Amino acid sequence: MVQRGEAVQIKGAPKTIEVINPATLEKVGEVPVMGPEEVGRAVQRARDAKRHWTALSIDKRAQVLLRFRQALVDAKDRIAAVIVSETGKPKAEAYAAEIAYVCDAIGYWAKNAGRFLADERLSPHLLKTKRVISTYAPKGVVGIIGPWNFPFTLTVGEALAALFAGNAVVIKPSEFTPLSALAGAALAAEAGLPEGVLQVVTGYGETGEHLIDRVDMVHFTGSTATGRKVMKRAAERLIPVSLELGGKDPMIVLEDADLERAANGCVWGGLFNSGQVCISVERVYVAEPVYEAFLEKVREKISALRQGAGAEEDVDIGAMIMPRQIETVEGHVRDAVAKGARVLTGGRRNPKLTGFFYEPTLLADVDHSMKVMTEETFGPVIPVMKVKDAEEAVALANDSRYGLDASIWSKDLRRAGELARRIDSGSVCINDCLVNFQITEAPMGGVKESGLGRRHGPEGIRKFCDQKTIVEDRLGLKSELVWYPTTPFTRGLMRRMINLLFGSGLRRFFG
Ligand code: NAD
């Protein structure tokens, strides 16, 4: 069981995973593949640790987690180096989207968790003699299964709300990027998080399955295909799941958009993290009158980007995670070109770099017969399609099995707001993109095949709890005599009450 520090070499372990830096192809670590016994032990340790953790007040838990935040601030360069080493992303992205996100999220939950999980006094409209309180109790041990694209944010960051709520957490990070979560859990332990409250188990999908078989809830972030398997497995034990899945986010640029801003947003939203973001701009619809001008602006901006290994200075766009991911991108570009798309820039692996690099790519004249407009590409490719008007753009935006995020670009905010309500997605940004993830007040999640449940906001922490209702009678024993039809007298009384309710009193009682 690896609990702290970077990856370790396990002597005589039957299987290990080598962690590779995708920008340099160097080996940066090795972790064990954990089987059912190791996962079982981790979950048991979490169950034991949870008792003490749950018994602490939220303020006490917040004190510990704020110490973790301080430790993270102090260790930011070391943690950023770990993230960059296993993802190949630019350092700036590791600081901004991972370390800064986690620090900010700790502060957000420290300020708000108590309020979101406070007992709520309810006023019954009918049985007015009852005092009703709704409470939140932690589920127990939460399993967090994460992807590789944000290996710190989507593991340690996802664990925060569960921890604030009083759960113990066991993380199963991606087999491609286990080191960030390990480093984060080790740092949290050093900062005083009690042993066993936050652990990491490493391995492939099977290790994730062993975790699902033992925990009290699963929070999964990853592909839609795996999300289906996770839900099926969780259904066997009737444990709840929260699923943050894939996307194919549309960007709509209307005739009256600020084209400069829209082009900047498009390049940022489409190429951040090499396009490997669940809420990436994956397809763009541009109104006919501004189509060519928009393409030209985007092309110019892409041409100025510097691609390279994330650890180097002055790199705008980093590596992709693995050959399989590049092959998907190549397949989508090939398919689009065969069906008539124009490649305005990029369209190939970067021949000057050794690692897994695909050049930032702009495609024009695409349509929905092409995979690049209908399947998740998850790479540095921006396909742009000309549309007649906003109506056509909305119809095409909704022509997808996904529904995670979307963006609309227009100076007419009222019209953009109306269109936003008609787009089938968990969120829509107007004149912006990607930013909603950083707004921890805003519920974030998908509709259709993009997921179930929400992170952030009140729902983002309550989902890690069981809601319990406590009903207290305020009249004492006498009320029992009135309400429980245990004697002929009270049965008669009850009958008369029912007659009254369904007779003349119906409107008065039921409204
Ligand atoms: P993936 O589905 O291949 O793997 C995700 C995790 O699931 C990994 O840790 C993997 O080992 C584990 N896993 C695989 N099979 C499993 C099984 N049968 N049971 C339990 N766990 C199993 O996803 P990925 O390639 O790592 O990540 C990319 C995907 O994640 C993209 O589709 C992307 O859109 C999505 N994503 C979504 C969000 C979001 O918030 N909606 C955020 C980031 C990434």
Task: Please state the separation of Cα 458 from the chain's center in Å.
Answer: 15
Closest CA to 297 of 261, 272, 254: 261
What distance in angstroms lies between residue 222's CA and the mean position of ligand 1's atoms?
2
pLDDT tens-digit series, residues 52-62: 999 999 999 99
Radius of gyration for the chain, computed over Cα atoms and rounded to the nearest angstrom: 26
pLDDT tens-digit series, residues 411-434: 999 999 999 999 999 999 999 999
Both tokens of 193, joined, read 């998080």
**From atom 40 of ligand 1, which residue's Cα is the shortest distance away?**
244
Distance CA 273, CA 149 (A): 8
pLDDT tens-digit series, residues 474-511: 876 555 555 666 788 878 888 888 888 787 666 666 65
Distance CA 316, CA 146 (A): 25
Distance CA 135, CA 132 (A): 10
Backbone angles phi, psi at 230, to 5 degrees: -65, -45
Residue with tokens 């080996």: 27
Q: How would residue 351 be classed by pLDDT, with cut points 50, 70 and 90?
A: very high
The CA dihedral of 392, 371, 275, 265, to the nearest 10 degrees, is -20
Distance CA 87, CA 357 (A): 12
Candidate list 278, 429, 433, 465, residue with the active-site label: 278
Supply the pLDDT for residue 3.
36
pLDDT of 453 strictly over 90: yes
Neighbouring C-beta atoms of residue 471, cutoff 10 Å: 11
Q: Cβ contacts of residue 146 below 8 Å, gap of 6+?
A: 154, 155, 158, 171, 172, 173, 174, 181, 221, 222
Supply the pLDDT for residue 2.
38
Supply the pLDDT for residue 14.
55
Supply the pLDDT for residue 488.
83
- On average, the pLDDT of the chain sits at 94
What distance in angstroms lies between residue 374's CA and the mean position of ligand 1's atoms?
19
Distance CA 303, CA 360 (A): 8
Ligand 1 pocket residues where CB is under 6 Å: 145-149, 154, 172, 174-175, 204-205, 208-209, 212, 221-223, 226, 229-230, 244-247, 278, 376, 378, 404, 446, 451
CA angle 155, 90, 248 (to 5 degrees): 60
Instruction: Look up 18 and say whether it is catalytic.
Output: no
The full DSSP string for 198-256 is EEE---SHHHHHHHHTTSSEEEEES-HHHHHHHHHHHHHHT--EEEE----EEEEE-TT
Both tokens of 43, joined, read 């979950």
What distance in angstroms lies between residue 172's CA and the mean position of ligand 1's atoms?
11
Report yes or no: 133 and 470 within 8 Å, Cβ to Cβ: yes
Q: Taking residues 272-300, what's their average pLDDT?
A: 98
DSSP 9: P
Look up the pTM and report it: 0.94
Q: How would residue 304 be classed by pLDDT, with cut points 50, 70 and 90?
A: very high
Report yes or no: 287 and 253 within 8 Å, Cβ to Cβ: yes
Report yes or no: 7 and 179 within 8 Å, Cβ to Cβ: yes
What distance in angstroms lies between residue 148's CA and the mean position of ligand 1's atoms?
8
pLDDT tens-digit series, residues 22-46: 999 999 999 999 999 999 999 999 9
Distance CA 80, CA 9 (A): 22
Distance CA 142, CA 242 (A): 11
Q: Taking residues 335-343, what's their average pLDDT?
A: 98
From the CA of 325, give the closest atom in ligand 1.
25
In the chain, % of residues over pLDDT 70: 94
pLDDT tens-digit series, residues 205-239: 999 999 999 999 999 999 999 999 999 999 999 99
Distance CA 314, CA 406 (A): 29
Supply the pLDDT for residue 9.
41
Instruction: Look up 244 and say whether it is catalytic.
Output: yes
**From atom 14 of ligand 1, which residue's Cα is the shortest distance away?**
205
From the CA of 204, give the closest atom in ligand 1.
11
